[in-house]
Structure 1
């Protein structure tokens, strides 16, 4: 893991995406004691017990941040978007609004339950 590459990824974003992504980073890093952050595929990936769990990226059209869940295809939450992805689903976050913590907790709990 290159800590500098991860930090540079966040610091090179413009506001409001920078603040939103840094908040999401903190939330994801603290949602489970076995979560670690890695630099993979040129983006920040979060691992749970050594296995890919989710990642942060931005939508090409809206430039809004999103969390991509690697087991998203097995998740049923109505706020998740699959689009043309075969395995993953994403949760879009509007950086101009407060992060919907209750929604995010429900989605994270569903994702964590798949790994227990």
Structure 2
């Protein structure tokens, strides 16, 4: 059996990160059937129309899963759960230390809004 790099990434994470990432992944894939899961820059990316929508990461020196939206700056007013950290110009993210930190209903709304935003944009990295 061949394990895809993105699956290997998830399975090599320590708990609670592994459970959080697998849960977030399932919500993404169930909410946005058109999304394409890719492994690039050594982390899982989720693309729509070949443009990056979001990625999952554990930033060095942190104790949470970073659910990072590439065009998050355009969504932060409507979705205050998106946080600005690490001086990123356009990326905004949801830090998840536990599964309980994720409001699934709100996350699904955010996924749908972010997908719509990316589909409308001419290019994913605009800043």
TM-score range, shorter chain: 0.7 to 0.9
- Secondary structure at the aligned position of 1:30 is classed as helix
- Secondary structure at the aligned position of 2:90 is classed as coil
Q: C-alpha separation between the residues in 2 aligned to 1:3 and 1:52?
A: 23
State which drifts further: 88-97 or 66-75. 88-97
1:113 aligns with 2:119: no
Number of equivalent positions: 115
Match of 1:47 in 2: 47
Q: What CA RMSD, in Å, does the superposition of the two structures yield over aligned residues? A: 2.0
Q: Does the 8 Å contact 2:11/2:18 carry over to 1?
A: yes
Report the TM-score when normalising by structure 2: 0.79
1:103 Cα offset (Å): 2.1
Query: Where do 5+ consecutive residues of structure 1 fail to align?
Result: none
User: What per-residue deviation string (whole Å, max 9, x for no partner) do you get for residues 32-82 of structure 1?
Assistant: 121010011110000012211100012444421121111112112111112
Higher relative contact order (CA 8 A, sep 6+): 2
Report the TM-score when normalising by structure 1: 0.86
Query: Where do 5+ consecutive residues of structure 2 fail to align?
Result: 121-127
1:3 Cα offset (Å): 5.5
1:64–1:5 Cα change, 3 Å = same
Q: Does the 8 Å contact 1:20/1:99 carry over to 2?
A: no
**Any residues of structure 2 matched to 1:1-20 within 5 Å, and which?**
4-20=4-20
